[in-house]
Each structure stands twice: as structure tokens, then as C-alpha cells.
Amino acid sequence: MDILIKVIQLFLCFTLLVGIHELGHFFMARAFKIRVEKFYIFFNPWFSLFKFRRNGTEYGLGWLPLGGYVKIAGMVDESMDKEQMKQPVKPDEFRAKPAWQRFLVMIAGVTMNLLLAVVIYIGICYTWGDSYFSNNDARWGYNFNDAGHEMGFRDGDRFVTIDGEPVDNIRTLLNDLLITESGRTVVVERGGEQVAIRIPLETLIRMRQEKAYDGLFTLPAPFIVDSVASAAARDAGLQPGDRIAGLDGRTITDFASIREALAEVKVQTTMLTVIRDTDTLSLAAAVDGQGKLGVLALASPYTMRTRHYTFGESIPAGIRKTGEVVSDYWQQLKLIVQPKTRMYEEVGGFVAIGSIFPGEWDWQDFWFKTAFLSIILAIMNLLPIPVLDGGHALFTLWEMITRRKPSEKFLERAQYVGFLILMALLIYANGNDIYRFFIK
């Protein structure tokens, strides 16, 4: 069932993104009175799942979910319709229009994807606000997994800065730590002092390869008294707000470990180490036959911070969020082409994309992921590869600058080269998925 929900979310998201992208090309072409022959969601080699014709345009749904397309009359595109290009130029064809109009048609899909991301982020800010956990609220620091200990962190450390930049939003911390072309210097607060930890690039690469960042750090769960429920606990002097930090001289700070230690000394009296405000107290407390002190523990001492927006405030917030995600993803893309970072090994295909969706339906998460993937689609389409919008736009921009139009034969050959490059990238990305699933 979880897999089915993931597949449905991926299909819905991808259909929306491709549809919006192609609508950008479609509406811009129509605005300049350019004839659009086909409008397809997904590709349709050999056959279509369904199709219909209206106002001279064939609309349809293909069976191959690798994208979508609009077939614009008089344009050298992925359809490779050479016969049409041999015919005399007609006024309603793409090739009959001035370069600036053709350029706008080419970038309209990317523009629509970026606008979609802005609209989604505006909606998220207005509907749910911006929720995050602040590093400043990690009063007892963090617990780290084995990889974190190997990197030099100790349980109880609290992040201060990464390469001199203050740490606040924990949601972005892993990206800030891992996405880099060099090592990182992390300053933590440890025992009231600041300690600098230098993490070399090789360690960060290994962390990404082994996915050791999963559970790298977690918030400790302290035993904090919420209310006193028995006379014995009151006689011991326990009060709401007390934090139990040890038993019989042993330092034990997390809730689960304290419960286990209490079970070992049931029907006895134990000496509790209790933190109350700034004081450390030793209290003798009776443990009953069930290994309990007679107090109710606070469910969670942590709260998420949420900033709520009015509709007017959500507009600049959504634009700002889009800009931040574009900047972060562009940085990642630049690192992928740098061999020393080895981030090219982490490129994934459809399985990797589908895995980012949760196994249960959550509209807020769905829209977050959709906005993120819309930005990825926009940036990837801007790459200067023939067959992608960026390649078409580059050739048109060259024409606008030099006043020389590339020949149709050159554009046809460029399409073939671009198609081969695109197929190679798709095979590599999805091959990585297969390798990680069956081998790693």
C-alpha cells in the first residue's frame, strides 16, 4: 500500500509539472499566433492512451512517462519532422517568427515551472505557515550516531556555526553540512565552551555514499517531571519542572534509560540527581513495585516554531523560498560536475525521485515536494543541451546576437546529439537506481 501511495503521488506530481511546463510553450505560441499541432502529457511512441482534436491541435496522453511535448509547427524539435521543414515557410509557423518571439516561446515552459513553485510556496506559507525546529531550542544538545561520533561530535554537543554561518533552522542543517566542494568546520557548544570540529571532504563523501547522515543527530529525550502524582514523590521533594539526570551516582539523561534503571531498583529507595533551574539536587526517592517514582513525565520538552503569514505576507515569503531553493539546487548541480566531490554517484532516476514521497498521504508534504521538483524541472530544462529548452534558447539567443540563424540541417543534427546526451543521462541516472537497489 505504501508503494502504491508513493506511485500515485509521483504520477500526480509529474503529470502536473509536465502539464504546466508544456502549457507555457502552448500559451506563448498561441499568443504569437503560432500553430500548435500537438499537445501531449508523456510521450506516445507508436500509440496514445487517448487523444482528441480541437481547433487544429491534437491533445493526448502518452504511455511513456518520461516528459511531455508540444509539437509547434515549423520547429525542429524531438519529433524530427523533416518533411514539414522541407515545405515553404507559412506565416503561422515557428520559423516564420522573429527571434525574440521564438526565444520567449522556448523559455515559457521554464518560466511556468518557476511560477508554479512560487504559487505553491505562497499557498503553503498562507495555509500552514513555516514550521521548523530552531537550534536555539536544543537546550540539551543532540545525540549522535556512530558516524557522528567518528566525525568528532559528542553527545550533548549543540551546533553553533558551520563555516562561520550561524545554525538556526535544523531542517536545512544536513544540506548546509553535506553540500560542499571542500571540508567543513563546525563549531559546537560543549560543556559551556565552543569547540571547532574540522570535517574533511573525504569524510563527507563517505557519509553521503553510506547514507550515514540518516539519524546523524537526534534530540535527546530528558526525563522532566510534568506533575507529581503520589505522596511518596512529594515526600521525596520532587516538583514539576525537575529534570532527572542520574540515579545512585550514575549520569543518565534520557527518558528510556532512566525508566530501565528504575525497573532495576524497584521496591527500593534510590538517590536521584535532579536539575532544578540552575541547581543540582540529590533526592532520596522510593521506587514502587512497578519501577515507577509516582510522577508523570513531560511528553516532550520541545516545540516546533511556526511563523504564520497573512496572504499579503505569504507572497514575498513564497518568492523568497523559491529563490532559496533555486540557489541551493544550482549549487548542488555545480558540485555534481566536479569529480572530486563524487556527487555524480548520487544522481538518481525515477526510483530516487519516487522515494522522496512518503508512504502516507500528506498534502503539505506533497505540495512541498511538488514545488521542489518543479524547480528541478525548470533548472534541468535550462541546461544548454540540444533537445532541451535551454539548447533551443541558446541557439536563438546566438541568432539574436549575431543576426545569423543556424541552418535547419545544423539544428537537426544538434537534436540528434542532444537526444543521445539526454538518453545517456537517463540511462546513467536510472542505472544508479538499479545499482543501489540490487548491489549496494
Q: 193 φ, ψ to 5°?
A: -120, 160
pLDDT, tens digit (0-9, with 9 covering 90-100), for 29-48: 999 999 999 888 888 888 88
The pLDDT of residue 81:
58
Highest mean pLDDT among 8-17, 129-138, 313-322: 313-322
Element (H, E) at 82: helix 82-86
Quick one: 150 exposed, middle or buried, by C-beta within 10 A (0-12, 13-18, 19+)? middle
C-alpha 158: how far from its chain's center? 24
Q: Is 240 within the bounds of a domain? A: yes
With bands split at pLDDT 50, 70 and 90, how would you rate the model's confidence at 370?
very high
Q: Is 238 within the bounds of a domain? A: yes
Residues 106 and 389: beta-carbon distance below 8 Å: yes
The pLDDT of residue 414:
81
Q: Is 325 within the bounds of a domain? A: no
Same domain, 114 and 181: no
Same domain, 215 and 228: no
Cβ–Cβ contacts within 10 Å for residue 191, how many?
9
The pLDDT of residue 319:
96
Q: Is 347 within the bounds of a domain? A: no
C-alpha 308: how far from its chain's center? 22
State mean pLDDT over 228-239: 90
CATH number at residue 175: 2.30.42.10
Q: Is 293 within the bounds of a domain? A: yes
**Coil, strand, or helix at residue 272?**
strand
Q: Say how many domains are in the chain.
A: 3
The pLDDT of residue 44:
81
Domain span at residue 261 reads 223-297
Instruction: In whole angstroms, give the CA distance from residue 188 to residue 154.
Output: 10
Percentage of residues in the chain with pLDDT exceeding 90?
Answer: 34
Instruction: In whole angstroms, give the CA distance from residue 143 to residue 169.
Output: 17
Amino acid identity of 247?
L
Q: Is the pLDDT of residue 317 over 90?
A: yes
The pLDDT of residue 82:
60
Q: Is 346 within the bounds of a domain? A: no
Same domain, 203 and 249: no
Q: Is 413 within the bounds of a domain? A: yes
Domain end position, chosen among 232, 264, 297: 297
Q: pTM of the prediction? A: 0.81
What residues form DSSP beta bridges with 20? none
pLDDT, tens digit (0-9, with 9 covering 90-100), for 173-215: 888 888 888 889 999 999 889 999 999 988 888 888 777 788 8
- When computed from its CA atoms, the radius of gyration of the chain, rounded to whole angstroms, is 29
Q: Is 109 within the bounds of a domain? A: yes
Same domain, 33 and 112: yes
Mean pLDDT of the chain: 87
C-alpha cell belonging to residue 423: 538518453
Residues 42 and 64: beta-carbon distance below 8 Å: yes
State mean pLDDT over 287-314: 89
Residues 316 and 122: beta-carbon distance below 8 Å: no
Same domain, 199 and 263: no
Q: Residue 351: which of 440, 429, 438 has the closest Cα?
A: 429
Residues 310 and 142: beta-carbon distance below 8 Å: no
The pLDDT of residue 238:
92
